[in-house]
Structure 1
Amino acid sequence: MPESPLHQLERALSADDLPKVEALLAAHPGLLNAPRRCPVLLAARSVATAERLLSLGAQLEPVSQWWAGGMGTLRTDSSVGRLLVERGARLTVHAAAGLGLLEPLAQMLDATPALIDAKGMDSCTPLHFARTVETAQLLLSRGARIDARDEDHSSTPAQWLIGDAPEVARFLLAQGASPDIFLAAALGDRTLAESLLKADPGCVAQRIGRPPAFPPLGQGRGGTIYQWTLAFNSYPHQIALMKGHPALFDLLYERSGLSIRLIVSCLLGRRSEAEALAAAHPGLVASLAPEEHELVARYCWETNLNVEAVRLMLDVGFPLAHPERSHGYTPLHNAAWAGSADLVDLLLERGHPVDIEDPAYHATPLGYALHDCLVEKRHPEGDFVHVVAALLEAGSPWEALDYPLGDSAIDEVFRARLHTRVDGAALLGDEAAMLRLLQEEPGPDALAKALAGAAKGGHVELCRRLLELGAPVDAVAGRSQLTPLMYAASASAGPVVALLLQRGASVAVKNRNGSTVLHLAVANDPDLETVRLLLDAGAGIHVDSPNAFGHTPAKLAEKAGRQDLVELLRSFPGRDGK
């Protein structure tokens, strides 16, 4: 899918590609100070880029607000941060600690000693953001709690700093901070690792994202900070290799039991080791705890996308569709969400079911692919056209009445299949295909689907023909449980709306979200005549009626900036029985 200008700007800033940054801002000037999670200035990776952004009009107040709690400071280059302070960005104790501004930090603590425990973002203390040893020394000398834990991730300063400032984490350990096997692995500290293994041999089996010690997202609020400072769903063995400590990996592997050796070998793609262990111990995979079987799903999720690890786990016998417990997503849900064609193809090849719905949103993997591609857009690099086509080819449930979805390439995948559904053929206005399908599937349900499709497609004569054949005028169809009138009004198909109203269609029916036809018409940028038809038919009593989300037609019109529509709704004499 095409990458949005915002994502392009973020990548250009991350690469410190100043010409690209300037070109994007010239084409999209609104991005410079657009409301967003992190100000553009804080994404600058050099003083030159920051100065250029300031010269273009980047504002400093959002910087002061964003890094006030410390989080933004941790992700800002210190030289850039110092420049922004010089230009007028306001400091807090957390920002001063994060930027290593010792003099201002000392002055703040002199004036207000209690700031040593001040709660910043996630209720972190200033020590959580000490990115230099000198800063950590100053804070400890003023009474900072070396093992203070934040409230979102329940993690210590050393755990927060191991990724960006390992030398500070090492210093804190030397000063008495509580150690753990992941700190030892990341630092390559064999002596520390051996002492931890001697005290608790089981620590080698700990995993980032496995409760209770290092919980995942969704358990214990944000889950352990190691998910971001080290790596999601990883064992200490993986961290040791990732940080360039193969000798420590060997020690950890040697001290591991058969189960952990098998799992780690799978996750690292060490096929010969994994297959040898599985062959020598046939019941080993089945004996793993359910939370270890979750690893197939977790390595299909966006934080760990790893087709070879998943392939190897499946090859040695991990269950194919085992969901991860935090949210109930299956491997296919996760792979589809990321638009990962390789993973989706692998899972489908192995027979992963396509019709499983997750427990929270009651959506299939196809629904996850479509939501990310069309709404969230978290994976512009994803091959969603391939993923959607593969899921449909594998038999995924789908709704013809969802077409068009709003992306031309995705719509083309669905369009090629619309002629196979009675509602799809009617939506396209293909009367011959529709009648053939009605002969194969006679009855009121098929007629109702066909009328809904013809209404959404705006095919007034086809709607007339279906009504003559006995199609029920107010039958609901599709996942959203809409009437033909709702489909027609949503598409601003005025002639179809008029026909359906003439045939007795109700304006009072509500869909599964409590929305009436007037809600749906107003929400889809209608022409005034279509809305007037509905108001004249009695829909005016719903102008101020809230749906399940608290939205009224009047509020929806205001939110859309349709002043002409707002005035029409306000002027109608039937609103609320007035």
Structure 2
Amino acid sequence: MAEQTPSARRFLATLRSGDAAEMRALLASDRWLREQVDEPWGYFDAPALVEASSRGDADMMRVLVEAGADVNARSGWEPGGSGVLDSERVELWVKEWCADGTPVMTEVFNDFRLRGLTVDAHAAANLGDLAMLRRLIDERPDCVNERGRDGASPLHMARTPAIVDVLVDSGADVDMRDIDHGATPAQWAIDEPAVCTRLIERGATPDIYVACALGDIAIADRVLADNPDALRSRSNYGPHMDGRPPGGHMYIYRMGVGMRPLPFASTRSHDEFVEELLERASPAEQLIYAAWTGDRARTMALVDANPGLVASLATDESRAISDAAWNNNCEGVALMLEVGFPVDARGDDSGTPLDRAAVRGYADIVEVLLGHTPSLEVTNDFGGTPLGGAIWGAANFRDPNGNYARTVDLLAAVEANLNRREDDGQTHLDRAVASDRDDVAQALQRHGGLRSSELPGRPLG
């Protein structure tokens, strides 16, 4: 593949560094790169211009276009490709909105339009351009339910309540689910209260997370009447979903994996709503909420009032400690451990809290968990131990909030089988070296980590 050549690697590194001057010099000196500028270099088979737009990098976009990049190029993502106007970084294109909702476009947008940039119904909805959207609908009424980015409709992209009205009045399906994330327009708009509210007003089906986002107890009661167990949902599991979408439900990108309704509601400052919703929750969900939010007094009061509550938690309830670890909730993990949540409760991918924290590099949580004697050998669905998960995470997940070197330091210090070979003959140190994680490799070596070639038996390769 082109990405494996030295020129390609330099191109990608420059693209992601945001160094527009370096990119200009690179493209000026390399004809082959100029000829390949529209190839699927980026994530999700995106051309460089689309990837730059996803980061809101206007300077990089100008350089790429000046070098010949196609302003209408789209990613090759199978559920539905993205173009530059599908970017959620709408500030690239819109300077401000007038009182009547008309967008004032940026110089970048005007320049790209002169270069032939096409605005479709999805883009018009994303930009909040009512006049353009109406023209497009007049020309082709069926565009209101066409699939675009991620297999979403224009209604998924609606920037304002007025855009919602135009689309719904023109026949848009208010409950259409996108292909990649299996989410409705209201679920996509979970972080946009005005848009989400208008969608519900126009007939969209709400779920418990929509009720929590809006702080609307009437909607919550309506949802609970239809689905009494809705408060036991997680962002990636529950009645708000329709099957298992290939890209994971949109909620995991909006609020994180494993987020439950009550803790989510607490992030929206709807204090009165939360208290009303807690009255409708089981003692188990009340306990999870209290511990997750670090409310020690409420947590202890619930435990005292309900002897045996923690021991009686179902597996989909006790797993909250694993979800808290994944979400970097150190206070929540510590409080759950204090009241007796199982230290090896399984979460997503059958990962224990230690595994989940290790994959993200959350060293503070790893340190807390190690004080409660978790299993170091239990494996997740991929056969990885917590230490293996940390090394995989350092190479692949690369959480910017993680400290993988310290995480590996903590785990390697207590690892009983630091130099065991995996099925392919590699050791933990082999994997760290191969991923160019010198910090992780050094942490392993401090505790006696070896390359496979340094061990007795079959050498790697």
Q: Could you tell me the TM-score, scaled by structure 2's length?
A: 0.77
Quote how far apart the aligned CAs of 1:176 are: 1.7
Counterpart residue identity of residue 35, structure 1: W
Query: Could you tell me how far apart the structure 2 residues matched to 1:114 and 1:209 are?
Result: 32
1:310 aligns with 2:333: yes
Residue 332 of structure 1: aligned partner: 354
Deviation at 1:73, TM superposition (A): 1.7
Q: Does 2:189 correspond to 1:183? A: no
What's the CA shift for 1:194?
4.4
Residue 169 of structure 1: CA displacement? 1.2
SS of the aligned residue for 1:207 comes to coil
2:163 is aligned, of 127, 135, 145, to 135
| Bigger mean CA deviation after superposition, 73-82 or 149-158 | 73-82
Counterparts of 2:127 and 2:188, CA distance in 1: 15
Is 1:56 the counterpart of 2:69 in the alignment?
no
CA contact (8 A) 2:23 2:63 kept: no
Contact 1:63 1:89 (8 Å CA) reproduced = yes
**Inter-partner Cα distance in structure 2 for 1:413 and 1:224:** 36
Q: CA deviation at 1:167?
A: 0.9
Supply the AA of the counterpart residue of 2:290: S
Cα distance 1:198–1:409, how it changes in 2: closer, same or farther (>3 A)? closer
Matched, 1:369 2:390: yes
Aligned to 1:123: 151
Question: What is the deviation of 1:377?
Answer: 5.2
In structure 2, what residue type is equivalent to 1:339? G
| Paired amino acid for 1:61 | D
Q: Residue 76 in 1 paired to residue 97 in 2?
A: no
Find the residue that maps to 1:286 and give its secondary structure.
coil
Distance (Å, rounded) in 1 between the aligned partners of 2:440 and 2:234: 38
Cα shift at 1:74: 5.2
Q: Which amino acid aligns with 1:207?
A: R
1:172 aligns with 2:199: yes
Which runs of no fewer than 5 residues in structure 1 stay unpaired?
13-20, 428-448, 455-475, 478-482, 488-519, 521-578
How does 1:152-301 map onto structure 2 within 5 Å? Answer: 152-163=180-191, 165-197=192-224, 202-214=229-241, 219-301=244-326
Which amino acid is 1:86 matched to?
R
Deviation of 1:214 (Å): 4.1
**8 Å contact kept, 2:207–2:240:** no
Distance in 2 (alpha carbons) for counterparts of 1:277 and 1:391: 34
Measure the CA separation in 1 of the matches of 2:135 and 2:289.
49
State the structure with bigger RCO (CA 8 A, min sep 6), 1 or 2: 2
Evaluate the alpha carbon distance shift between residue 201 and residue 359 of structure 1 in structure 2; reply closer, same or farther with a 3 A threshold. closer
- Residues 277, 76 of structure 1: alpha-carbon distance in 2 compared, 3 angstrom cutoff: same
- Residues 190 and 91 (structure 1 numbering): CA distance in 2 closer, same or farther, change over 3 Å? same
What is the Cα-based RMSD across aligned positions, in Å?
3.4
TM-aligned CA deviation for residue 35 of structure 1: 2.3
Which residue identity does 1:288 align to in structure 2?
L
Contact 1:162–1:230 (8 Å) recurs in 2: no
Aligned partner of 1:351 in structure 2 is 373
Calculate percent identity across the aligned residue pairs: 29
Distance 1:333 1:105 in 2: 48
Q: Distance in 1 between matches of 2:72 and 2:363?
A: 39
Specify which of 390, 408, 425 is matched with residue 388 of structure 1. Answer: 408
1:79, 1:416 → 2: CA distance?
47
Paired with 1:202 and 1:229, the residues of 2 have a C-alpha distance of 22
Distance 1:191 1:388 in 2: 48
AA aligned opposite 1:393: A
Q: Deviations over 1:42-84 (max 9, x none)?
A: 2465xxx62x445434465366414955796251315526543
Measure, in 2, the Cα distance between the counterparts of 1:377 and 1:228.
Answer: 15
The equivalences for 1:32-51 within 5 A come to: 35-37=41-43, 39-43=50-54, 45=56, 50=58
Q: Which amino acid aligns with 2:335?
A: L
Bigger CA radius of gyration: 1
Moved more, 127-136 or 389-398: 389-398
* Structure 2 stretches lacking a partner, 5+ long: 1-9, 28-32, 95-104, 421-425
